[in-house]
Amino acid sequence: MNELLTLTIRQVRDLYARKSLSPLEYWQAVEERIDAFEPYVQALYLYDPENARAQAKASTERWQKGETLGILDGIPVTLKELIATKGDPVPLGTKAVELVPAAEDAPIAARCREDGAVIFAKTTCPDYGMLSSGLSSFHKLSRNPWDLSQNPGGSSAGASAAAAAGFGPLHIGTDIGGSVRLPAGWTGIFGFKPSQGRIPVDPYYVGRCAGPMTRFVEDAALSMEPLSRTDWRDGTSLPPNAFDWLDLDIDVRGLKIGLMLDAGTGLAAEDEVKEAVMAAARLFEQAGAEIVPVGPVITRAMLDGLDNFWRARFWGDIAGMDEERQSLILPYIFDWAKGGAHVSGVDAVRGFNQTIEMRKTCGKLFTTVDAVISPTNPVVSYPADWASPTNDPAAPFEHIAFTVPWNMSEQPASSINCGFSKSGMPIGLQIVGPRYADPFVLKLSKAFETWSGGVARWPEPPKG
């Protein structure tokens, strides 16, 4: 492992400023890591090392002249394939979509370019971003760097695999039910889903957020300044903020933190997962926080209603396709979507109304606690070629009960590694804060990272 890849963005920038490291030299270290790992994890789409070298060279010249563009100048970054970059097709992870070059950068891509980031690749995702898996009809199968037989999660599958493997410090994913946090938990990285609208997205939708996926909490926090700049294309975009995103100090004494070990529905948390989360809770308690057991915020009716609504919505998107194009969609996704053909308009609205019920239960819980901690994922891992932990299109969302309520309630939430299973796979701790209290969640995450020893392990590339 090249020691340069173990540095935070701030440390790399300090080396740039002292002219003891150039963006081009740093990129070369990242490129070598990608060469060693990418043939196995298959995390990247449109990877262009030659163009990355050119971007890094231009950044090197800016640093030499003292004319940098922003805080991400010279920092290698990937964007999830669903995030449009001008001139590149957006296949949405599926063979069913025509490959038409995007007319303009999406908000996130635009902010990264404004800052001078080295955007060297897009990252893979499943068809339409609809799975918590690296399984796709368009992309190669993405795998977990900790064990290539295992799933990296999704739908920000390539982003999590790239971050875990050490392909640079910053990877941007999207999250509508857990698609940043779930893969972060399964690959042992830090994933942050901010309050809805904090990072503008296009297209925007109920519960849809974007967020940084990194090895260090500080790197995610640093990225929030450029990424959270407002953009009119997102109708939920929040007003400009004046947060000091790098102020990560916090005293947790007196905070009341809810400990949720039962999601209320879906897959129950495995024993190893619960043990790791309870150990994390003890660290908060030792630092002076009050740990309060809390009940679930989601019910079977809520999850099934959301399932009905999402099926109906997605079926509406693809029903007009000719049969030849429909046949190109990943069968698991298509079989799930076909159920939407039988959902009435009334039932679809009733399903959507369950998102309001989730918002109510989440809001009520936060009248009694300052934050909530829980498992990110209920299970330790599952095979790389499975579409989900159940691998059953009739039960597609059994694994998102800990994560999806906070999308619907628009609250910030993170996933941070809190240990490893006996099989050597990472386990994720979810930390949730009040709506719009994004810096608070980052502070709690940084505190836990410090107490737990931070990034102590990195996966090694397969031999041969």
Give mean pLDDT, residues 269-287. 98
Q: Pick from 163, 210, 209: which is nearest to 185 by CA?
A: 163
Q: Which two structure tokens, joined as six digits, stand for 432?
A: 């949730």
Tell whether pTM > 0.85.
yes
Does the pLDDT value for residue 464 go beyond 60? no
Can you spell out the DSSP letters for 209-249?
EEEEEESSHHHHHHHHHHHTS--TT-TTPPPP----TT---
pLDDT digits (tens, 9 = 90+) for 40-68: 999 999 999 999 999 999 999 999 999 99
Does the pLDDT value for residue 373 go beyond 70? yes
Does the pLDDT value for residue 110 go beyond 60? yes
Give mean pLDDT, residues 24-28. 98
DSSP 330: -
Count of positions (residues) in the chain: 464
Can you spell out the DSSP letters for 243-309?
--TT------TT-EEEE----SSSSPPPHHHHHHHHHHHHHHHHTTPEEEE---S--HHHHHHHHHH
Residue 132 is predicted with a pLDDT of 95
* CB-based contacts of 395, cutoff 8 Å, min separation 6: none
Alpha carbon distance 353, 309 (integer Å):
9
- Mean pLDDT of the chain, nearest integer: 97
pLDDT digits (tens, 9 = 90+) for 170-191: 999 999 999 999 999 999 999 9
- What single-letter amino acid sits at 387? A
Alpha carbon distance 303, 315 (integer Å):
18
Q: List the 371-375 sheet strands across, edge first.
A: 44-45, 118-123, 76-80, 170-175, 209-214, 190-193, 413-420, 426-432, 371-375, 256-259, 290-293
Residue 456 is predicted with a pLDDT of 66
Instruction: Count other Cβ atoms within 10 Å, centred on residue 40.
Output: 14
Alpha carbon distance 358, 406 (integer Å):
8
Tell me the pLDDT band of 205, cut-offs 50, 70 and 90.
very high
Does the pLDDT value for residue 295 go beyond 60? yes
Give mean pLDDT, residues 204-230. 97
Does the pLDDT value for residue 224 go beyond 90? yes
Does the pLDDT value for residue 1 go beyond 90? no
Number of H helices, E strands in the chain: 14, 11
User: Within 13 Å and on the Cβ side, how many CA atoms surround 346?
Assistant: 0
How large a percentage of the chain has pLDDT more than 90?
A: 97
Alpha carbon distance 69, 378 (integer Å):
42
User: Is residue 78 helix, strand or coil?
Assistant: strand
Give mean pLDDT, residues 393-401. 95
